[in-house]
Amino acid sequence: MRRPEVPARRLGPWVALAAILGVGVSVATAAQGRWVPKRTQTLWFFFAPGQKGLASEARRIGDYLRVHPELDFRPCLLLDDGEPIRRPSRDLAETIRILQALQGPGFALPLWDGEGAAFARELGIERLPAYALVDARAKKAHVATGQGARFEDLLPCR
């Protein structure tokens, strides 16, 4: 199935943001391939532009992952297709910087993440921010969604 293309006019602020930040931001394409976790368990972080406190949340996640390197981490920026992209907030710009640092060199946060959006639908995620702790070996996922969601609430599921 072919992924829809993002109109060029919608990319302007994001491309400018990437240039200013010097971070990897891309439009996901079939050529990029599917994300493959390196570890058994993965912490997914689903978020959208305009949410408050994203940078501080990304820092908290980063602090946890530094202490627990046994977890893979997969951030997923979800865009509402009907909502035009406006100039990214400082908080979102800082969040992208933090996520880039967490993922390391070569990581590009997709502007349109079809794989992540499909997984969010599969998990039944309707409110953001959201977290999912996925265990590939056990083939199970635990999810926390909404404004009060905390990734720490999923950790007993490990």
Domain membership flag for residue 2: no
Task: Give the count of domains, the chain.
Answer: 1
Strands of the 71-77 sheet, one edge to the other: 71-77, 41-47, 130-135, 140-145
* Mean pLDDT within 41-49: 90
Domain membership flag for residue 31: yes
pLDDT for residue 81:
64
- Its domain, for residue 25, covers 8-157
By CB atoms closer than 10 A (0-12, 13-18, 19+), residue 71 is: buried
Domain membership flag for residue 3: no
Rounded mean pLDDT of the chain?
74
Domain membership flag for residue 107: yes
Q: Please state the pTM of the whole predicted model.
A: 0.74
53 CB neighbour count, 10 Å cutoff: 12
122 CB neighbour count, 10 Å cutoff: 10
Domain membership flag for residue 1: no
pLDDT at 62 over 50: yes
b/e per residue 6-18 (b: at least 16 CB within 10 A): beeebbeebeebb
Domain membership flag for residue 54: yes
pLDDT at 18 over 70: no
What pLDDT digit, counting tens, does each position of 23-39 carry?
Answer: 444 433 333 455 566 66
pLDDT at 54 over 80: yes
The whole-angstrom separation of Cα 121 and Cα 81 is: 14
CATH number at residue 30: 3.40.30.10
Q: What six digits make up the tokens of 102?
A: 């967490």
